[in-house]
Amino acid sequence: KQEVTQIPAALSVPEGENLVLNCSFTDSAIYNLQWFRQDPGKGLTSLLLIQSSQREQTSGRLNASLDKSSGRSTLYIAASQPGDSATYLCAARTDKLIFGTGTRLQVFP
C-alpha cells in the first residue's frame, strides 16, 4: 500500500528565503508525481507534474525533482513571498492518486 509522507509538517520563514519541501513515497512504481497548493478552505491548484521518466520540472520560482528509485521528490521554492503561504501537497500516482500529509508554509514579511 502506497504511503506518502511530507517533511516538514509546518514551516515559517521570512520573505526572500529559498525553501525545500520534501516528499517521500513507499512504492516506487509510480506513473507520475504531482505537487499541489491548497489555500485555506479552498480546492487544489496543480503546481507541477513530473512523469516517472523525468527528473525535474520547473515553473517560475518553483522547481520539483523526482528520484523514483529512492522514493523521493522535492519542491524548491526560490525567493519566497508572503503570497506563497499555503499548504503544499505532493501526490504519487499508481492506479490511484495518494496524497502526502502536507506541509503548511507561512512566509512572513
Partner 1 sequence: GAVVSQHPSWVICKSGTSVKIECRSLDFQATTMFWYRQFPKQSLMLMATSNEGSKATYEQGVEKDKFLINHASLTLSTLTVTSAHPEDSSFYICSATLSDYGYTFGSGTRLTVV
Q: List residues near partner 1 by CB under 8 A.
A: 31-32, 34, 36, 41-44, 46, 49, 51, 89, 91, 93, 96-102, 104
Decide whether 53 or 69 has the Cβ nearer to partner 1. 53
SS (HEC) of the chain: CCCEEEECCEEEEECCCCEEEEEEECCCCCCEEEEEEECCCCCEEEEEEEECCCCEEEECCEEEEEECCCCEEEEEECCCCHHHCEEEEEEEECCCEEECCCEEEEEEC
CB of 99 to partner 1, least distance (A): 4
Decide whether 72 or 93 has the Cβ nearer to partner 1. 93
